[in-house]
Structure 1
């Protein structure tokens, strides 16, 4: 998850740097040429990704057993085969469940927070030119180079997540903690730390960037820590969503993606006007103020998350023996019937 999230930050940060220098040396078409090259290379890599979705893996295993014509197991089936796999059935679930889960309390508050973080990520691509090109007079290529600080910040944030993961695993290996005793809320300390750091570093960036008398390295370093803080929030909440919603995780993450992508797409439409009216210091302080208010969300979940989960029909809890209604479209596919027992034994 840390690697995935780091790429979410690194890609958009490298884009303006590349296009800024292309604008100086080439024409606008070269931006699309680079996109085509990267897209083509990515498509080739995607062809190597193996199938890991449990119901499909089990379904293919059932097919192999039937093809082998093992006596007594000629009609064995996976639970997946009993589902409605028509296009209408698939799209009915895929297009409706994310919207239903979006308004579940945990999903909604996570979506609001991550939408705000994602909005700022894309606002940075307008804020940085204001700070380094308009205020300091740098050209379109050099003026985008400070964005590389956010790349460094994403890598630093990923390293923090990696260290946290290894410490958790070490405690499990040593028997200090048990995997079965862990709760989804154990994922939240990363988001708590990231939320506090986010607000503080945004104030730092805003007022160091407001004055050209301040050396350019100061707001650039602030951008490093802003990126790290945002990544910690991002990873902490995405892992939390996956642990909370389990078999509904795909829909929960999809709902979250819809909300943050919509806000991220809107960011360039108002950022220039906002900072022209408020200034870098004022605009940045407004963002930092909202970040301060939202920083209470992970604290809320850390203290009351389990009680909230117990009231949700989409969030299984250990205390509830019947946590959710059975869902055949997103269940893990292992089942409890004789067919699935045979498949697991095979």
Structure 2
């Protein structure tokens, strides 16, 4: 039976040793001044059988995820965003029911009870270090699928946990699985979208991780207070199972390197050309599986240790994330004890944070790509990742406001609506810091966006898990007014940090470039 090939493959079969293959420039790093779209001369590696290279069948190859129809692109991102909402929802949905767990399981140690809530974020800290590099070796689809079902299965363990120790262990495993969508989303955005659309795409994908922790206590408060704390996990199981099943049927592989690797293996057999090699590995055969795994698993750590800009941005984001979770430690008790809210109603106090998140996300989604394109035009049409960062300067100024506002109004027992409104500036500012950093990392390392994002996720989750353990003691010693003021002064001290990143980010990135 005769095998047919696309026209792009019909090239002369000269010896690979006699040809000179030029790798294409990375996609989407120059911007046309008139069209405000990326230059498309030779963005993607193409098949050249004369050199033994297998790539895309032209720049408009429909199999290239960057060339997918917009409906398909946004549909795939929508699937990722759906599970990315459910996973962070599980991180905080359990927190209002902690008092019911204490009664049911006979727990008297407040620190252990708090740890049963924050242990989930430790799973977020460790999971990305494994899942991100695995996705760059085996592809996004299979790794996301395995992570999702791992997350779903451990909800059963949490719902049936006989002791607090079991609950803590099961929550840890659930967090590891739940970190998959948070980690791989950045990679999927880099796979699907050119640079001038990544700001909007990142905003859509980030809606879940930021709204989930706010919606969780609201839903969890009513569920735990009416039908019991175990039903919190049964509800998460039902929702996550349904979303994971939908992803199983509708999701597609998007990682270019894996797609071309599979295409290369197929053509080697069909054409009898064992010399063929992927355009994403044009210098020789791929390394052995153990070596490839070792290299991939080290990649997030290498980025964190050897790239000062990744280290600094991860540290800054971790600090902001830690402040958010310290904020969370006082909200349920303050509104129950000082304002007489029920367990269910106390969750509604998070609406101030949720509204700020929504306004901040909307603001960034509408302006981030436009600002980048404007700065690129001023730079002769050349895009630089640091063009994402100047917006942070404006938003960082909002972070300290909420701590003083919320802290002293609750300390002085001002009407409950005032401290709820006071939470809004922090969450608004946090979105303006979080999203540009996320998009910046994707732009800097588009081929390894998942690993780069893993360093951000792991560091902020580690701080978010451990720092709140100090919250009750701190507020007990300093009170709500001065305790929150201390956090406000810390946030105020870090306001100049975005100025440093905007001014020196490029110098640091270029001087300490990392070979991955």
| TM exceeding 0.5 | yes
CA distance in 1 between partners of 2:309 and 2:280 (Å): 29
- Give the unaligned 5+ runs of structure 2: 1-201
Per the alignment, in what secondary structure is the counterpart of residue 391 of structure 2?
Answer: helix
Q: Per-residue CA shift, 1:228-266, capped at 9, x if unaligned? A: 211111111112222334444333221221111111111
| Alignment partner, residue 84 of structure 1 | 287
CA distance in 2 between partners of 1:221 and 1:105 (Å): 37
CA distance in 2 between partners of 1:179 and 1:6 (Å): 33
1:168 CA displacement: 3.8
What's the TM-score once normalised by structure 2's chain length? 0.56
Per the alignment, in what secondary structure is the counterpart of residue 108 of structure 1?
Answer: helix
CA distance in 2 between partners of 1:130 and 1:277 (Å): 16
Match status 1:288 vs 2:491: no
The alignment's C-alpha RMSD in Å is 2.5
Match of 1:137 among 340, 348, 370: 340
Q: Per-residue CA shift, 1:112-155, capped at 9, x if unaligned? A: 11111211222233221132112222111111101122222222
Match status 1:117 vs 2:317: no
Equivalences, count: 310
| Alignment partner, residue 5 of structure 1 | 206
1:217 CA displacement: 1.6
Do the aligned partners of residues 45 and 202 (structure 1) sit closer, same or farther apart at CA in structure 2, a change above 3 Å counting? Answer: farther
- Give the unaligned 5+ runs of structure 1: 315-324, 328-346
Match of 1:96 among 298, 310, 317: 298
Match of 2:243 among 42, 47, 55: 42
Contact 2:401 2:425 in 1 (8 A): no
Structure with greater contact order relative to length (CA < 8 Å, sep ≥ 6)? 1
CA distance in 1 between partners of 2:380 and 2:355 (Å): 32
CA distance in 2 between partners of 1:102 and 1:35 (Å): 33
Contact 2:389 2:502 in 1 (8 A): yes
CA distance in 2 between partners of 1:244 and 1:171 (Å): 19
Match status 1:226 vs 2:426: yes
CA distance in 2 between partners of 1:241 and 1:95 (Å): 18
CA distance in 1 between partners of 2:428 and 2:512 (Å): 32
Match status 1:302 vs 2:505: no
Write out aligned runs for 1:269-280 (5 A). 269-280=469-480
Match of 1:128 among 322, 331, 343: 331
Match status 1:211 vs 2:420: no
